[in-house]
A and B are shown apart, each in its own frame.
Chain A
Amino acid sequence: MNAIEIENLSKYYGKLRALNSMSLEVPEGTIYGLVGPNGSGKTTLIKVLVGSLHPNSGFIKVLGLDPLKDKWKLRKQIGYMPQSPALYDDLSARNNIMFFGKAQNVPDLKKKADEILSFAELTSRANDMVGTFSGGMKKRVSLCCALIHNPRIIFLDEPTAAVDPHLKMQSWILFRKLAQSGVTIFISTHQMDEAMLCDKVTILRNGEILAVDTPQNILQRGKTNLKISVNNEEKVSTIDSTPKSLADELKKYGLEKNITSVELHSSNIEDIILSIVHEKEKEEKS
């Protein structure tokens, strides 16, 4: 079953076309990424789906419900984390989470709030005013508010912007766990490493869908520049970014014929910094 169905969705701000005849389907239990530059329509699409914006035309169903006509039924089942933290600076992290939990009549709210604060590694700051928190910490509290009522679908508008790499990784582990338990995650990002962690990705530009595919398939549309030195002579070639193409190219330089694919996985700068931090933490603990 599809968690989200959109057909010919359009939204205008005056003369500006924010979403243009957009159609897409999001299967239940998947992590669905919305990727695109600023102003591409990511936030507008999320706001239309949560029932905060009126579309100009088109058909929308979220969990089989109309976001405007069935808003009360739907709002019980969705979690929403906006781009800005949208929290009360004069309330503690715990009280912010409890406030949004009360709106959804969450049973055993105090226990649930403690659990979620622990997940976000905020237990030690639970009773501090949110106004004293860093941008990344506010994002964490905001995520907790979106998750407090165990929603069936979660809309996350750039949830890990300004979050440190460690918590970003932790968040993605949680997103994956939630998806495995059947929760649909609809996430907007402009970070390509995050797009790679989604099950499916839609690329947006100026309110139009440019591509819908798995991140792996999208990656294979790219090209790889290969630079090989033979007897100090540099040979440069451009190949498709697929494991098969790489194997075929390397065969020209003597790779055994029975090797049909070659993949390289190098650490990026974020992985390297994370491993240095983890090593130091291990050292300090021991």
Chain B
Amino acid sequence: MTHTFIIAQRVLSQLKGDRRFLALSIFAPLLIIYFLKLMFDTFPSFVDVKSNTIPISAFIVHFLSFILCAVLLVQERTRGTLERMMIGGFSKTSIIGGYSLGYFGLATLQAITVLTESIWLFNLSYDTKTVVLLFIVIWLLAIVSVMLGIFISTFAKHEAHVFPFIPLIILPSVFLTGLIIKPDGLPIWAVIIGKCLPLHYAVNIIHEIVKPEYKIIDTLVDFGVLTGYIFGLLGLASLTLKETE
């Protein structure tokens, strides 16, 4: 457990030291949400853009957290520090745990800033309970993305290997999870694929939370699946991260 904290501490000091990375992780989502606002402003007033704002913001966090975490962990491999950590006495469990813990901080910061900007920019009037619940969903999705990044990084030998996973895993989320249109009219196989993607559950919860008649019990299963993704991907990453080539 101590080793996990040592790695988490290192990840955090590394993030603090790499200001470019930190700025990219925090300000890039904010800038993209601003561009989204500019685009939504051109839509006719009868189009309901508000219901799509938070799900799209959540997707931006999902995409960036995944790619930044995967690339950084692959860098550990290409630089030789991953091998050195393992030979130096760190177990793969402590490496994955330390990385996850280190990125929890970044995921929290991303969830807070993205939600605050979206609510302010789109003039969304939600009560405190709804805002807290929306934060929890985006935060959970960010953690899932970190885990997904760690898992995918185990298949990549260098940074460029991460990019083919974007059209494979991230982009289908845009079309099949209800982010833009409800998946009801899609072919059954496309609905099944959509249900395999974590964004599907996050979008479901967000759409429910903002309804006035929302009851937490209606989304317990979706919350459970989203949390399940975290532990499932953590387990898979532990299996696929090799200590010995």
Contact = CB atoms under 8 A, between A and B. Distances in A.
A91 B17 contact: yes
Given A53-B245, A54-B245, A68-B244, A80 B14 contact: no
A137 B36 CA distance: 47
Contacts of A100: 84, 88
B17 A52 contact: no
A100 B85 CA distance: 7
A30 to B, nearest CB: 22
**Band of interface residues on A:** 20 to 34
A91 B79 CA distance: 14
A129 B17 CA distance: 9
A59 interface: no
Given A53-B244, A82-B80, A91 B10 contact: yes
Contacts of B86: 52
A78 B87 CA distance: 8
Contacts of B245: 47, 52-54
A53 B42 CA distance: 58
A88 B85 contact: no
Interface residues of B, number: 21
A103 B10 contact: no
The DSSP consensus for interface residues of chain A is: loop
B87 A88 contact: no
B88 A104 contact: yes
Given A53-B244, A103-B6, A75 B14 contact: no
Q: Which of A54, A80, A88, A103 has the most CB of B within 10 A?
A: A103
Nearest to A83: B80
B18 interface: yes
Contacts of A76: 89
A72 B87 CA distance: 9
Interface string A229-248: 00000000000000000000
B84 A82 contact: yes
Nearest to B89: A103
Which A-B residue pairs are the 8 nearest by beta carbons? A86-B80, A90-B17, A103-B89, A86-B84, A103-B88, A84-B80, A90-B14, A80-B87
Given A52-B245, A87-B79, A104-B89, 20 more contacts: A47-B245, A51-B244, A52-B87, A52-B244, A54-B245, A75-B87, A76-B89, A82-B80, A85-B80, A88-B10, A88-B14, A90-B17, A90-B18, A99-B6, A100-B88, A102-B3, A103-B89, A104-B88, A129-B17, A145-B84
